[in-house]
Amino acid sequence: MTAPPLDVRHIAAALPDPDADLAFLLAEVDWDDRIRARRTASFGTPYNYSGHHYDPAPMPPRIAAIAAIAATHAGHHYDNCLANRYDTGEHTMGFHRDSYEGLVPDSAVAIVSLGATRTLVFRGEDRAHRAEIVLEHGSLLLMTAETQRHWTHAVPRAAGVGLRCSLTFRRFAVVRPASASDR
């Protein structure tokens, strides 16, 4: 079976001041090192990620401003930011599809890149198709839910590369408490 075409949108230079955004992440974020391949941090609604739980945490205004830029491109707001920190090219992310558990089913996942350039590799579910997107400092990538169903993605090892952080944004479904009118 052939995977449907890769449905991603790549916006170069999406942020007004990516240098300051990166400096903020390095100075202010308390990075979690439970995952060996890279460090992480979560802001906003907690997302259960790679089998780890993150507590809810306020989104700092600088990250909320980036979420707002991603939202204008996606056409919907975001309420979680999962940040990844790859100190060197030896820090990686293996092939995976993002879990949509708790997310709005047709929402797009956004990836904002800061720092060193890394390549995001997509692999079709048929394992025959591959695509690569070069993620530069200050860029934004949007992936549709349909693409996540049929393609996996990874950040492979890259020799001699310096520090990169990514901010990934997700939209959670609002859980509505049961009311009298539902009964």
Ligand X SMILES: O=C(O)CCC(=O)C(=O)O
Cβ 19 to ligand X shortest distance, Å: 19
Cβ 136 to Fe ion shortest distance, Å: 18
Cβ 68 to ligand X shortest distance, Å: 19
The contact set with ligand X (CB under 6 A) reads: 82, 84, 93, 98, 111, 120, 135, 153, 155, 166, 168
Alpha-carbon distance of 58 to 55, in angstroms, equals 10
In the chain, where do the E strands start and end?
A: 8-11, 39-44, 80-86, 93-96, 109-115, 118-124, 130-135, 140-143, 151-155, 164-170
Cβ 69 to Fe ion shortest distance, Å: 19
DSSP 8-class letter at 125: T
Task: Assess 82 for contact with Fe ion (CB under 5 A).
Answer: no
Given the complex with Fe ion, which of 110 and 176 has the nearer CB atom?
110
Given the complex with Fe ion, which of 79 and 98 has the nearer CB atom?
98
Using Cβ positions, the residue closest to ligand X within the complex turns out to be 166
> Residue type at 24?
F
Using Cβ positions, the residue closest to Fe ion within the complex turns out to be 98
Cβ 96 to Fe ion shortest distance, Å: 6
- Going residue by residue from 98 to 127, which x/- string records binding to Fe ion, judged by CB under 5 A? x-----------------------------
- DSSP H helical ranges for the chain: 18-28, 61-74, 145-150
Given the complex with ligand X, which of 84 and 147 has the nearer CB atom?
84
Dig out the tokens for 119 from the structure: 């390549």
Give strand pairing partners of 168.
Answer: 82, 111
Given the complex with Fe ion, which of 17 and 35 has the nearer CB atom?
35
# residues near Fe ion by CB under 5 A = 1
The three-state secondary structure class of 172 is: strand
Q: Around Cβ 150, how many Cβ atoms within 10 Å? A: 20
Given the complex with ligand X, which of 119 and 178 has the nearer CB atom?
119
Q: What angle do CA 89, 124, 110 make, to 5 degrees?
A: 60
- Which residues are at the interface with Fe ion (CB under 5 A)? 98
